[in-house]
Structure 1
């Protein structure tokens, strides 16, 4: 039903009283589509904020499933989700639907890569970064520049987080700021520095506020900064520090090949890896060259005699003893397989060992 100008549901009344949004901005939020890539710690806070704020269509994309170690900081998940081995997007959407049934919440179980990102962001007004690795962030940056859809870069390790909005062609992009991903081992990760729950909440809340500022604006073209501060914001909740770096002229001052020469290395697939070590998980993700269509029930029956098999309509999990080639004292290996052929092998950080396990139990 079409709303009258100025009408605001009681659900959003207090938000609409805020002068930065107002009744008209609240109505605009209801017409917007956000694509959230990553539903881990950052993504949970962002998804919750977008749904409660009344963004009309929230698409949540993630490749992973809920584990016990997630519960310390990933605020949408419960112990029941862990017991049921639920994919994060399914668990998040189920929870959020009970919060706001008036909007569209679309869970997508997918490994975001150069073959599918254009379809995943199709029709989006804004892309939100809820990821935990640079490879996907550079891919988001490429697709933003290619499509003109703005995005907000965010990252968090230890007690510190950083955030920067990107308006393609109008402001600095991720490669203006960091021309290439840091080499492995040269920067802190959640594996080496850990991560503090309040740090996640702080930086994701700032990201959500910028998102609402963009989404509640009048008009259909959101690719202009239009008053949004062009800054890199860095917050450390342990030290109690808050810093902002002006990046408003960085695009013009940089020799960014993505902005000035149209280079799209990640979107073209030339910088994609077939295996990814997952941050803080003692796990490796294996992605087949092409998407498959595996019959999970049939494979579960074939694997049943090899170890402990659990399954649902979204995935199969096989728990086996570590191969003899690994450290004899190592714990069991856990292989989680999705219908598209993607797998997460837990119990190793060696991509070669993970590929061997995949080939042995799934095929090559």
Structure 2
């Protein structure tokens, strides 16, 4: 299959040795939305050895404008993004070992997935998950690449444990939170620009060209023709609880986690059950149907409707309550339907 990667091998920064390294590495992708699907496709086309991709959501029509792996058929079937991504990625490159996980990237899951991982790429949409990624990265000394975009704006930063500041350090100087969730929309070119920054850094890490890694925090606005690159070496904080002299990894602590989450940019609340366990979707569908609910499903999830309310239930017991940002109301809907 040398011909397949010939143009990539011709690039001096990669070459035959670099291509061999890419083919031996394992990348963990957190999220299969806009950034996740784009980064995953680039890595799979480049011949990454293994890709693990985890996502908690399913494909909706509004995703098709910028999430490049998905189709109208995925929307009609309400396929989980991880499952749809796996199907498409295997069709692109059958030589790559791809593992898709439909579920929440909580700290326990992240710590388990971190084993044997060479790089973590952030493609999530919330800071609770990002901070857990950051702590897992520091605890297990795994590089990770932060990325975000909204509107025409995007940003990226590469975090190397023991070398660069971590995300917890950056939060002391850069107001990142305001860019994680927005109702002002997003344009696909901003997504592609953020993906380009992340994937280029990923290649540098995978071929172990550490000197080429960008040491700056990049921020851009394509609509306003703005591009900023900031040196962040002074942001490293000795007292940081994630990467400092005496780390405690606070975002892996159970006390710092929530059971409910408002999904970014949507009138949707995710609820995670306090007791983890697999749900029999077939049995649950029969029970809910007998109670008068309108139930549709596939092997991965159930969509339950009663009047204006809709809830999607996954095998792991997670549920998405659509049409509300009210956590109390969402919990009541969950309890009423699930019992």
Provide the TM-score with structure 1 as the length reference: 0.89
* From 32, 41, 56, the counterpart of 1:39: 32
The structural deviation recorded for 1:181 is 10
- For 1:334 and 1:187, the matched residues in 2 are separated by 28
8 Å contact kept, 1:179–1:256:
no
CA RMSD of aligned residues (A): 1.8
8 Å contact kept, 2:267–2:325:
yes
- For 1:191 and 1:308, the matched residues in 2 are separated by 32
The structural deviation recorded for 1:121 is 1.9
Cross-structure match for 2:310: 334
- For 1:180 and 1:109, the matched residues in 2 are separated by 34
The structural deviation recorded for 1:290 is 2.5
* From 180, 186, 194, the counterpart of 1:203: 194
Cross-structure match for 1:67: 60
Cross-structure match for 1:311: 297
- For 1:28 and 1:264, the matched residues in 2 are separated by 30
Cross-structure match for 1:30: 23
- For 1:18 and 1:101, the matched residues in 2 are separated by 24
8 Å contact kept, 1:176–1:255:
no
* From 351, 354, 359, the counterpart of 2:327: 351
Cross-structure match for 2:92: 99
Write the deviation string for residues 115-141 of structure 1: whole angstroms up to 9, x where unpaired.
Answer: 221112221000000001111000000
Unaligned runs of 5+ in 2: none
Cross-structure match for 2:243: 259
Provide the TM-score with structure 2 as the length reference: 0.95
Q: Report SS of the residue matched to 2:243.
A: helix
- For 1:240 and 1:290, the matched residues in 2 are separated by 49
Cross-structure match for 1:275: 260
Count of paired positions:
337
Cross-structure match for 1:52: 45
The structural deviation recorded for 1:293 is 1.6
Cross-structure match for 1:326: none
Q: Report SS of the residue matched to 2:250.
A: coil
- For 2:309 and 2:182, the matched residues in 1 are separated by 19
- For 1:175 and 1:189, the matched residues in 2 are separated by 15
- For 2:250 and 2:231, the matched residues in 1 are separated by 27
The structural deviation recorded for 1:167 is 0.7
The more displaced of 189-198 and 146-155 is 189-198
